Amino acid sequence: MSKQQFQTEVSQLLQLIVHSLYSHPEIFLRELISNSSDALDKLRHLTLTDDAYKALVGNGIEPPRIELELNEDARTITISDTGIGMNEEDLVSHLGTIARSGTRTFLSQLSGDQRKDSNLIGQFGVGFYSAFMVADKVEVISRKAGDDKAWKWISDGKTGFEIEPAERASAGTTVLLHLNEEGAQYANSYRLQEIVRKYSNHIAFPIFLTYDKSEGNAEKKESIKSRVTEQVNAASAMWQRSKSELTDEDYKELYKSLTGDWEDPLLWFHTRAEGTLEYTTLFYIPAKAPLDLYQTDYKTGVKLYVKRVFIMDDSRELLPQYLRFVRGIIDSEDLPLNVSREILQQNKVLASIKAASVKKILSELKSLSTSNPEKYAQFIAEYNRPLKEGLYGDFANRETLLELIRFKSTKVDGLTSLAEAKARMQPEQKSLYYITGGNEALLRNSPLLEIYKKKNIEVLILDDDIDEIVFSAIDKYGEIDLKAANKGAASEDLKSEAEPEKAESLKPLIEKLKATLGDAVKEIRISTRLADSPSVIVSDEDEPSARMRQMMQAMGQKNLPELKPTLEINPDHEIIKKLLTKTDDAAIQDAAWLLFDQALLLEGVPLKDPATFVQRLNRVLNQSI
């Protein structure tokens, strides 16, 4: 026998489970049955596709079933399956550690108070460990398909576990729960049947319950107990039934058992396609974004079935990456059962299912945005950003995605759509405008927006760090141009007349400024977009903005060419007007740098030489007091 410690995270998780989940202990059964169902799925796939496993059917591998056994006197429940099973190594790694990085990160981020909040932990599946809510000792006896040996794992759920050799007639896993005080209520056959029907009715494998049934004997006026085994669930793949047969509760329970989420899903879409290709899809959108949404090793949430046989649940080919928050099932009639990961990558059937699924999901979201704006707002609060990622990669659905994404704006509180912004356009307004950068407050106060304010034109505020990358690739919304206010060309539309004389009179000043700033700027020109500020910096259409360069540097991009922005000055500003009459070169030089540096600061670009900036500022201040 070997005694082993739990990984630290497991101990933390167990603490959390035992101390915060008392409100839902019954879910232990759903979690264990869903593990059994997964194990049966995995083995069935192997026996259908792999000759070595095929040969073992009836000889070490039994037909798929899940058996619950209740022993009221001993206060034990067993959950057995004829699935894939675990060997010694699997038992240690699957039941002694937490493999999912999402769970690990989640646990490490929780504060003391949050740990007490059971809603928070409901966001991820607690899985097997939920057994310790109801049991003070758990034994797992398992034999892996293809192996002769069986192993027993025993733990009190406190610090560690023991492993020893065991006996098991065929492949599969038996979980034996020694119920604790809290769990005693489940040593009751009615209760168990009720829980199975509530949470696991849709499980595609038969679930049997063996228990002592009391039956009245009218003659002797007494009840006789007999040991019986009865099937408890419907055992048909729920998604294959027609929508009209299914209730909201059915959908919600399937979702919970698929994902381990405790909250109801926000939405679901159930579709059956018949015709050239036959398949069923059932997609769910979780109410809260999955914890690993922004991790590169995120867990995918769509399971692939072929003719109701589970094939895989970790393929990134089933939906595009930006829809990685979608959970659910794709069940195809046309794919081969032995379809491999490599084949999936170039498979035409899957490509069509995938394309149709994306269209379906997006079009359902689009109709939700009009039919139920409140629910849509909940969706957007969680998933606006992944949709933007889609804008970057999914050309085929760009138009729909543009309709779905929501924006902050200078004209409305909260969020708005492009369609709404279009409806608010001024009669003379030629394009839709936006400004990008990493900080909302900075953007809202940017001098670049002054002219828009003056002309009562709306500007969308794009303050997500991916916005500039995404939107620089998108120049149209339908027929209308989308233009960045921080780029050169946006001001073309807003040009006022009467410029030639102004330009002529400012020429000498611009030359002096240019002589002072030299290589720090690419060009100095008269601005048509400023009202209250004396100066601003802008980038060319094809250049990354100043803020974007910072991001690229932060991400480790080296050898970026020096930033050489264009400085625009406001001919109508008092400072510029005064400078026109100044002849003192030293004062003009100080002013040139101050105009440039303040424009950089407002763009959120840190100054290269703050000390000189402060000296200059103090010089000018000194003269003005």
Ligand X SMILES: Nc1ncnc2c1ncn2[C@@H]1O[C@H](COP(=O)(O)OP(=O)(O)OP(=O)(O)O)[C@@H](O)[C@H]1O
Task: Locate 307 and state its tokens.
Answer: 């003719």
104: which 2 tokens? 């690990």
* Least distance CB 294 / ligand X (angstroms): 19
Task: List the interface residues with ligand X, window 178-207 (CB under 6 A).
Answer: none
Name which of 78, 197, 87, 204 is nearest 138 in CA terms: 78
Cβ distance to ligand X smaller for residue 125 or 320: 125
In the sheet that 172-179 helps form, which strands lie side by side, from edge to edge?
2-5, 160-166, 150-155, 135-143, 172-179, 76-81, 66-71, 207-217, 222-231
Q: How far is the CB of 143 from ligand X (least distance, A)?
A: 10
- Residue 125 vs 488, nearer CB to ligand X: 125
Nearest approach in angstroms of CB 41 to ligand X is 10
Which span (83-91, 212-220, 272-280, 504-512) binds ligand X, by CB under 6 A? Answer: 83-91
Q: Which of residues 95-114 bind ligand X (CB under 6 A)?
A: 95
Residue 157 labelled as part of a binding site: no
The span from the CA of 254 to the CA of 200, in Å, is: 8
Taking CB under 6 A as the criterion, the residue among 14, 86, 353, 567 binding ligand X is 86
Residues 395 and 413: their CA atoms lie apart, in Å, by 30
Question: Kind and range of the H or E element at 477?
Answer: strand 476-477
| Residue closer to ligand X, measured from CB, 8 or 426 | 8
Q: Residue 170 or residue 352: which is nearer to ligand X going by CB?
A: 170
Check whether 31 is labelled as a binding-site residue: yes
d(CA 80, CA 69) in angstroms, rounded, equals 8
Q: How far is the CB of 127 from ligand X (least distance, A)?
A: 2
123 in a known ligand binding site: yes
Q: Nearest distance from residue 197's CB to ligand X, in Å? A: 20
Residue with tokens 């050239």: 276
Q: Which is nearer to ligand X, 86 or 209 (CB)?
A: 86
Distance CA 44, CA 305 (A): 11
The reply to whether 36 sits near ligand X by the rule CB under 6 A is yes
Closer to ligand X by Cβ: residue 262 or 593: 262
For residue 333, what are its two tokens? 């009639």
Cβ 90 to ligand X shortest distance, Å: 7
Closest to ligand X by CB, 122 or 447: 122
The only residue of 13, 14, 84, 538 in contact with ligand X, by rule CB under 6 A: 84
> Among 17, 76, 82, 83, which residue sits at the site for ligand X (rule: CB under 6 A)?
83
CA dist 377 and 381 (Å) reads 6
Nearest Cα to Cα of residue 137 among 81, 175, 166: 175
Nearer to ligand X, 41 or 467 (CB): 41
**Contact flag: residue 94 with ligand X (CB under 6 A):** yes
Which residues in the 223-282 window bind ligand X by CB under 6 A?
260
Task: Specify the stretch interacting with ligand X by CB under 6 A; choose among 84-92, 398-406, 460-468, 570-578.
Answer: 84-92
Chain residue whose CB lies nearest ligand X: 127
| Residue the block writes with tokens 């070997």 | 2
Q: Looking at residues 271 to 310 of the shown chain, list those that interact with ligand X (rule: CB under 6 A).
A: none
Burial 280-290 (b: 16+ CB within 10 A, else e): bbbbbbbebbb
- Piece of the chain touching ligand X by CB under 6 A; list 49-57, 125-133, 267-275, 399-407: 125-133
124 is in an annotated binding site: yes
**Residue showing tokens 């970057």:** 392
Q: Which of 127, 157, 320, 565 binds ligand X (CB under 6 A)?
A: 127
Cβ 37 to ligand X, closest distance in Å? Answer: 9
Nearest to 154, CA basis, from 18, 31, 4, 39? 4
Q: How would you write 340-390 as a 3-class SS string? A: CHHHHHHCHHHHHHHHHHHHHHHHHHHHHHHHCHHHHHHHHHHHHHHHHHH
Among 26, 41, 67, 81, binds ligand X (CB under 6 A): 81
Nearer to ligand X, 144 or 549 (CB): 144
- Residues in contact with ligand X, total (CB under 6 A)? 17
Nearest to 541 by CA among 468, 467, 443, 614: 468
Residue selected from 25, 125, 290, 320 as contacting ligand X according to rule CB under 6 A: 125
Contact by Cβ (8 Å): 268, 375: no
Residue 35 interacts with ligand X (CB under 6 A): yes or no: yes
39 binding ligand X? (CB under 6 A): yes
Residue that has been written with the tokens 């290269």 in this structure: 608
For position 539 contacting ligand X by CB under 6 A, the verdict is no
Using CB under 6 A, pick the residue from 173, 472, 527, 570 that binds ligand X: 173
What CA–CA distance (Å, rounded) separates 604 from 594? 15
Continuous H helices in 394-541: 398-404, 418-423, 440-444, 450-454, 467-472, 499-517
DSSP strand E in 156-308: where? 160-166, 172-179, 207-217, 222-231, 267-273, 279-285, 302-306
Per the annotation, where are the binding residues for ATP?
A: 31, 35, 81, 86, 101-102, 123-128, 173, 341
Per the annotation, where are the binding residues?
A: 31, 35, 81, 86, 101-102, 123-128, 173, 341
Name the site residues for ligand X (rule: CB under 6 A): 31, 35-36, 39, 81, 83-86, 94-95, 125, 127-129, 173, 260
